[in-house]
Structure 1
Amino acid sequence: MQIMTTASDTSPRVPSRNLPLPSRRGLNRAMNALAVGRSALVVLALLVGAGAGPGAVVFRWLIKTFTQLFSGHADYSAAGHTANPHVPGLGMWFVLFTPVLAGLIYGPLVYKFAPEARGHGVPEVMYAVARKGGRIAPQVAVVKSLASALCIGSGGSVGREGPIVQIGSALGSTFGRVVGAGEDRMRLLVACGAAGGIAATFNAPLAGVFFAMELILTSFAAEGFGMIVLSSVVASVIGRAAFGNEPFLVLPAFHTSSPGQLPLFAVLGVVAGAAGVAFSKILYLIEDACDWAWRWPEWARPAVGGLLLGGLLLLLPEMYGVGYPVLGDAVAGKYAIGFLLVLLVGKIAATSLTIGIGGSGGVFAPSLFMGAMLGSAFGQIAHHVFGASAGGIGSYALIGMGAVFAGAARAPITAVVIMFELTGEYSIIVSLMAAIVLATLTSRLLTGDTIYTLKLRRRGIDLSAPAPASPFTGITVGAVMEPVPAPLPANISLSQAADSLAVSRHGALPVTDTDGSFLGVASARAVAEVLAEGGREGEPVREVLTVPKPVHADSELATALEALVTADPSGLPVVDEAGTGLSGWITHQAVLAAAHSRPVQTV
């Protein structure tokens, strides 16, 4: 069978005998149609969901495994100051060293292979969608999984949402890159991956959909909604098969029955919105302090900073990892007001320190934790002041969870949906919506940024501003392409082709059939590789062709750049609309000349 390669394929060319050239051309056109067709997009959305689901399963297993390894418990946040049974001689002091040991592993891993895996992950995905056409390096999924699982398992006080969003998004981007999807399709596949990851890891398919659309795509287009729902459903089915049909956090049943409670929930919404803003500000203040204090190699920062985190865990072990058991106890009303406030401040400090020292993890779960502490304390105060008419304390804790997240991330739809999915209790929906909307408005009044966009703005990136103008805007491929080099006949021998390629300034030449139709490109490298094997000089050149992604003369130069970047240094042929004739040749030098002769325009 004849093996065809794209321009980005660097594997050895394997000659074949059986596939006729017309079928090859038809296959190439079919693959390009697959990359952009709507029916193909449905298949890709399903595949992304099918990849994000197992990714979430593996990620949660890694967290569980590393938590058991480093602490000796399934969740050390609920274990108090007990010793690690693996090292009983250290007593409770083992928590001083677990972040250091994990930092020695994931610090160099992130530094060497995927620096974007550091931190909470969602801003990097937002930036990739808004400014990079959805392109995310495929190694991010693997590095983020290991780094975040090591960080959380060793005591890092961060959550699972940021990592799983980045992991799923990297999978979606990789799928899009493999099939040659355009930027719009690539962005959508990234959002599908994010939704699938959230849906599977939290058993919250609706929250996954709205998280992806509200925060990643920032769009609610009908086609995008449908594709993201498909991915979320598939991933959720896989997640439920692995984890069961239970929400990620099991809470007691709650309801709000008295209309008189609504003003109290409204006040809680305002307070929680301010708390969400305070969390985002403190997070980056501590990160700035860590940046200012650190003077050594970045790969060592998580390990050295882990001593500080370990000291905090020694004082307050409830901060170890995500802390869902502690959150559940707070919602159930098991803590006094003073201790709730200590836990609230402690979580802000622990999460900020974990991110500041170079840890990897999300801020969604910490914001829920803070909301539960704040809401439970508020509910107890309301109960002392107004008595039984104030209602159950747990209702305040639950609504506080959604309101603090809304204040920090300014994603009210996602906050409402995920809280509703957690409880399944419709009676709280009015109070929940009121508190979350007021938290969002309070956040907007206090700051122009969210906890996600502030990270990007500190780097000089404003996602709300128009994208910087490309120097290639308005330039077509036809305006910069060069004349077509003299093509090689398909039946010319490899030895004869080598003579022509040796004097060609491009290092590659187009190959045409007897009727003049374009078949592919023969490169000097491919011919040399085959000739080096010996005894094959008389074989026709058609056996070593590559078929690059089609570039047309009327295409925007900016859209042709991705195909050119992945091509051989010799450039790409420009084909006519039928895809069988040659119009010209585009090279890297021609693109650079176009950029040099036309200054970048600012908007």
Structure 2
Amino acid sequence: MVLALVIGAGAGLGSIVFRWCITTFTRLFTGHEDYAASPGAGHPHLPWLGPYFVLLAPVIGGLLYGPLVNRFAKEARGHGVPEVMLAVAQRGGRISPKVAVVKTLASALCIGSGGSVGREGPIVQIGSALGSTLGRVTKVTEGRMKLLVACGAAGGIAATFNAPLAGVFFAMELILGTFTAEAFGATVLAGVSASVIGRAAFGDVTFLNLPDFHVDHLAQYALFALLGVIAAAVGVGFARVLYLIEDACDWAWRGPEWLRPAVGGLALGLVLLALPEMYGVGYPVLQKATEGGYAVGFLLLLLVGKTIATSLTIGIGGSGGVFAPSLFIGAMLGAAYGTGLHHLLPGTAGAVGAYALVGMGAVFAGASRAPITAVVILFELTGEYGIILPLMLAIVLATAVSRLLSKDTVYTLKLRRRGIDLEGAVPGAPIGTQQVGAVMEALPSPLPAATALADAAALLSRSGHGALPVVDADGHYAGIVTAQAVAEALAEQPYDAPTLVGRLAVPPVPVTADQPLAQALHALLSAPGTGVPVLDSRQGEPVGWLSHQSVLHAVHDTRWSAKQPV
């Protein structure tokens, strides 16, 4: 708990330094605190260039951060969150401490010189690197190391957006991928300490000042639901375009990597010259859109422009997040959708800003499939409970439709393109690549569903397993019954507790014989007993049993075989 507080405070201080760097570099490159608030203006110290200075800013920025990233921390390139997810899933939470310094400078230079990316990805990587470093210094266990990394991510999000709850759920939903009381408590402490420091520096204000929204008619729920479906397609499309343009940049570039951001900066400069609203993160443009300040055609242009500008920034080797761009794209989509409805259904549609707000959350959920984070952060931004129901409806639909459209998210797709499956085996690991059928043991004798609990208790005690499969009257697989469930039921009798095993049988997460062992381990670890039945992939009937002992036995056999002479 003490370490969580320290890491949260470190993430909060890191957020202050990072935002100061962004503001400083933006003023240096543009002469404005946020150029997106004055798009198309000239540099006050270079008036003879007029708005054409944006052609040079990304080039100069690339010349500065390109060699920095290439020389000291290549993992600081890109949007950061996938690297943290990989560190937690397959590297024991170990992140190099130099990432924090390099990521701070590289991302601040990239955003300050016109990179159309967000600041949340970098601060997540910065905070996570701080957590990992402190974990190594204090020599904590691997499990605690991962938790400290998540605390750094939670603190970074909390301080950046002044949204402590969103930081907590971001860390658990995306970084850890699990919800436990210990993880919740630790990330809450980190989020609170980071938010306290952030509010002391920036004030208790959100990064957007949104007007009050509410739902006027029940018919609007159907309109919000449709927006959620459309937003899912836009979110998935954003992820696909992001990596399509990155592939195109990889194909086109043949020079040294350190020079790539500078040369690619010429292309980014042309985009900024044509659409200066794309400069930097773009919060002023986002806010104006939620206030109904743009026509439908220009909103759609901004949507496409942000998709291209962000993808190009990442593709040329820039450093920055995709969280804020997905919110930006969602706001443009929602505002355009709401404006169109306002003209078609003036008495029913309601405020345009409500659709912009819901679109922000829905597109982010469609791209990242982190619905809890999306709901919480948008709620924390507004404090408006009246919008929570359509927000939840649209976000859940966007998440569900996104899952149908794509197996990967905007974060996991980057890793899969490198041949990394977060749920698969780590390359070179002793276990994980085998199929379940090759390591499973014989199926224990199943219990008929009509077996009395007392008889089941005796059989379980002699079986050597903490659980046994159950079959119904026709001999078909019905699930498993655990020793714990039987013991609890016997302790509750005679007060209406079940008396037969069939009433206690529950199907665990399915594990099939042709499934990779690395994926099956997740089901085994979450199983209520000490093992799970292995099912035939065609018939769905149990053909074997997977336990922790059988997995370890497979490792022993592999090593013993490797030592035998040829």
The alignment's TM-score, normalised by the length of structure 1, stands at: 0.71
Matched residue, 2:200: 241
Matched residue, 1:18: none
Root mean square deviation of aligned Cα? 1.6
Matched residue, 1:71: 30
- The residue type paired with residue 103 of structure 1 is G
Q: Report if the CA contact (8 A) 2:103-2:319 is conserved.
A: yes
Rounded to whole Å, the distance in 2 between the matches of 1:355 and 1:597 is 47
Query: Are 1:408 and 2:353 an aligned pair?
Result: no
Query: Are 1:49 and 2:8 an aligned pair?
Result: yes
State which of 377, 389, 392 in structure 2 corresponds to 1:418.
377
Q: Report if the CA contact (8 A) 1:210-1:413 is conserved.
A: yes
- The residue type paired with residue 95 of structure 2 is I
Rounded to whole Å, the distance in 2 between the matches of 1:57 and 1:291 is 34
How much does 1:468 deviate? 5.4
Matched residue, 2:448: none
How much does 1:595 deviate? 10
- The residue type paired with residue 309 of structure 1 is L
Rounded to whole Å, the distance in 2 between the matches of 1:73 and 1:599 is 65
CA 1:340/1:432 → structure 2, altered by over 3 Å: closer, same or farther? same
Q: 5 Å matches for 1:471-490?
A: 471=430
- The residue type paired with residue 102 of structure 2 is V
Rounded to whole Å, the distance in 1 between the matches of 2:431 and 2:328 is 48
- The residue type paired with residue 217 of structure 2 is S
Rounded to whole Å, the distance in 1 between the matches of 2:223 and 2:150 is 36
- The residue type paired with residue 69 of structure 1 is L
Q: 5 Å matches for 1:240-389?
A: 240-389=199-348
- The 3-state SS of whatever aligns with 2:294 is coil
- The 3-state SS of whatever aligns with 2:348 is helix
- The residue type paired with residue 393 of structure 1 is V
Rounded to whole Å, the distance in 1 between the matches of 2:560 and 2:56 is 58
Matched residue, 1:146: 105
State which of 385, 397, 401 in structure 2 corresponds to 1:438.
397
Q: Which structure 1 residue ranges, 4+ long, deviate > 2 Å from structure 2?
A: 464-473, 594-600
Query: Are 1:87 and 2:46 an aligned pair?
Result: yes
**CA distances 1:302-332 after superposition (whole Å, capped 9, x unpaired):** 0000000001000000000000010111110
**CA distances 1:509-562 after superposition (whole Å, capped 9, x unpaired):** xxxxxxxxxxxxxxxxxxxxxxxxxxxxxxxxxxxxxxxxxxxxxxxxxxxxxx
Q: Between Structure 1 and Structure 2, whose CA radius of gyration is higher?
A: 1
Q: Report if the CA contact (8 A) 1:209-1:229 is conserved.
A: yes
Rounded to whole Å, the distance in 1 between the matches of 2:560 and 2:27 is 60
CA 1:472/1:213 → structure 2, altered by over 3 Å: closer, same or farther? closer
How much does 1:257 deviate? 3.0
Matched residue, 1:429: 388
**CA distances 1:390-433 after superposition (whole Å, capped 9, x unpaired):** 11011000000000000000000000000000000001111000
Query: Are 1:190 and 2:162 an aligned pair?
Result: no
**CA distances 1:186-209 after superposition (whole Å, capped 9, x unpaired):** 000000000001101110000000
Identity of aligned residues (%): 71
Query: Are 1:168 and 2:120 an aligned pair?
Result: no
**CA distances 1:472-508 after superposition (whole Å, capped 9, x unpaired):** 99xxxxxxxxxxxxxxxxxxxxxxxxxxxxxxxxxxx
Rounded to whole Å, the distance in 2 between the matches of 1:408 and 1:320 is 22
- The residue type paired with residue 262 of structure 2 is A
How much does 1:435 deviate? 0.2
- The residue type paired with residue 56 of structure 1 is S
CA 1:299/1:598 → structure 2, altered by over 3 Å: closer, same or farther? farther
Matched residue, 2:412: 453
- Consecutive unaligned residues of structure 2, counting only runs of 5 or more, are 433-556
**CA distances 1:336-376 after superposition (whole Å, capped 9, x unpaired):** 00000000000000000000000000001000110010000
Q: Report if the CA contact (8 A) 2:425-2:431 is conserved.
A: no
Q: Report if the CA contact (8 A) 1:257-1:427 is conserved.
A: no
Rounded to whole Å, the distance in 1 between the matches of 2:214 and 2:561 is 64
Q: Report if the CA contact (8 A) 1:138-1:171 is conserved.
A: yes
Q: Report if the CA contact (8 A) 2:241-2:311 is conserved.
A: yes
- The residue type paired with residue 375 of structure 1 is G
Matched residue, 1:137: 96
Q: Report if the CA contact (8 A) 1:373-1:397 is conserved.
A: yes
**CA distances 1:12-50 after superposition (whole Å, capped 9, x unpaired):** xxxxxxxxxxxxxxxxxxxxxxxxxxxxxx111111111
Matched residue, 2:484: none
Query: Are 1:227 and 2:186 an aligned pair?
Result: yes
How much does 1:260 deviate? 1.3
Rounded to whole Å, the distance in 2 between the matches of 1:113 and 1:465 is 29
Rounded to whole Å, the distance in 1 between the matches of 2:71 and 2:200 is 35
Rounded to whole Å, the distance in 2 between the matches of 1:52 and 1:135 is 17
Query: Are 1:202 and 2:161 an aligned pair?
Result: yes
How much does 1:80 deviate? 2.4
Rounded to whole Å, the distance in 2 between the matches of 1:247 and 1:283 is 28
How much does 1:75 deviate? 1.0
- The residue type paired with residue 191 of structure 1 is A
- Consecutive unaligned residues of structure 1, counting only runs of 5 or more, are 1-41, 474-593
The alignment's TM-score, normalised by the length of structure 2, stands at: 0.76
How much does 1:253 deviate? 1.4
Q: Report if the CA contact (8 A) 1:403-1:436 is conserved.
A: yes
Rounded to whole Å, the distance in 2 between the matches of 1:94 and 1:596 is 63
Q: Report if the CA contact (8 A) 1:279-1:408 is conserved.
A: yes
How much does 1:82 deviate? 1.2
